[in-house]
Amino acid sequence: MIDIHSVLIAVSFDEKYMQQIRDIYTPAKIIELNFDDEKGIVEALKSVDVAFIGGDLDDRYINAPKLQWVHCGHAGLNKFAKKEIFDKGLVVSSSAGRSAPALAEHIILFMLALSYKISDFIEAQKTHTWGIKGQSNLRALYGQTIGIIGMGHTGKELAVRTKAMGMKVIAYSNKEKAPENVDSYYSAAKEDTLDDILKESDFLALCIPLTDKTYHMISTKELKMMKPSSCIINMARGAVIDESVLIKALKEGWIAGAGLDTFEQEPLSSKSELWDLPNVYMTPHCTPQVPDRTGRTIEILKENVLRYRKGLPLLNQLMIHDIFSR
């Protein structure tokens, strides 16, 4: 059994949630601070062995003399997936999965918009025009093939929903065992490549973390393997796609369209060609919240405190293969 002696809590939640957090860590000593209280955090990190923070981890946490575990109240850990964390032996975990249902919906939003050419119908409505060019050639999502790269929280939720919509679901991930709600599965653990999923997919959804291995995973070779009628959806991180090549692919018709919520540079430069491409839908790295997202965050924290005390692997624990050094 691992004891938790002193905890830094640097999140801003309603009091009812803060009390739940205190109860989870009982009987440890609690130090509560605002995440932007730099002086207070520096002082607290001299003594605490555990921290729960609402923002990004930085060198103050890596260098804290007694700190053993940091849990982050958000999902992505790529900003601080550094080798130094593993050299120190610091355990880091996140709240990934709390918004997975909404992220899956967001991907389907892009797919529907692209499939139905919704922007064209909106423009037609503005000009009181009955119909759009090529509307008789539009295809519903039903019966089409979605390829999902990455079968973590979002990928699994997306598979459930698209399977229920009558789509063929194929997937690729680093896990050996095929997940549920998937018709065909390709595994990096079995040395499968991306080739088949790229060739077969009408919609390709990226749901993977950004690591040194996934940086620019989708570039010239991959985009040229996709169907000219296919579309790509990125709900991962912007740098999973080589953005300059994606722009070329969209302009030259290698693929039919894209739905993008993340970009290599955020905010996206006003000079980016992506803004004006007619076959692109974009959102500014922003997905509507699920009901009680904070409550879902605390449930993940509660489970991880139990696991930490028992010396078990944590949910969403940062692993050595998650390092992103660029």
CA 205 to chain centre: 11
For the chain, give the mean pLDDT.
Answer: 96
Check 123, 266, 309, 321 and give the catalytic one. Answer: 266
- Contact by Cβ (8 Å): 233, 206: yes
Contact, 101 vs 107, CB < 8 A? no
In the predicted structure, residue 282 carries a pLDDT above the cut 90: yes
Given the residues 22, 74, 161, 285, the one annotated as active site: 285
Contact in structure between 104 and 163 (CB atoms under 8 Å): no
pLDDT band per the 50, 70, 90 thresholds, residue 55:
confident
Residue among 71, 106, 237, 296 flagged as catalytic: 237
User: Using CA atoms, how far apart are residues 246 and 260, in angstroms rounded to an integer?
Assistant: 11
Beta-carbon contacts of 292 under 8 Å, excluding residues fewer than 6 positions away, are none
What is d(CA 260, CA 263) in angstroms, rounded to the nearest whole number?
7
- Contact call for residues 132 and 183 (beta carbons, < 8 A): no
285 in catalytic set: yes
Is the overall model pTM greater than 0.75, yes or no?
A: yes
- Give one DSSP letter per residue of 131-187, joined into a string: --TTGGG---STT-EEEEE--SHHHHHHHHHHHHTT-EEEEEES-SSPPTT-SEEEE
Decide: 231 and 259 in contact? Cβ < 8 Å. yes
CB neighbour burial string for 192-216, b if at least 16 within 10 angstroms, e if fewer = eebeebbebbbbbbbbbbbbeebbb
Asked if residue 311 has pLDDT above 80, the reply is: yes
Residue type, 289: Q
Question: What mean pLDDT is predicted for residues 217-227?
Answer: 98
Q: How far apart are the first and last CA of the chain?
A: 37
- pLDDT per position as a tens digit, 134-172: 999 999 999 999 999 999 999 999 999 999 999 999 999
Residue closest to 107 by CA, chosen among 185, 159, 152, 143: 159
Lowest-confidence segment of 20-29, 201-210, 285-294 by average pLDDT: 285-294
Q: Domains, the chain, ranges and CATH?
A: 6-98+291-322 (3.40.50.720), 100-282 (3.40.50.720)
**Rounded to whole angstroms, how far apart are CA atoms 310 and 69?**
14
252 given a catalytic annotation: no
The two three-digit tokens of residue 164, written as one number: 């229920």
Q: Contact at 8 Å (CB) between 45 and 325? A: no
**Which tens digit of pLDDT belongs to each residue from 243-264?**
999 999 999 999 999 999 999 9
Query: Is residue 272 over pLDDT 80?
Result: yes
Distance between CA atoms of residues 158 and 101, nearest Å: 8
Closest residue by Cα to residue 74 from 93, 92, 95:
95
Q: What is the DSSP letter of 296?
A: H
- 237 tagged catalytic: yes
Res 52: pLDDT? 98
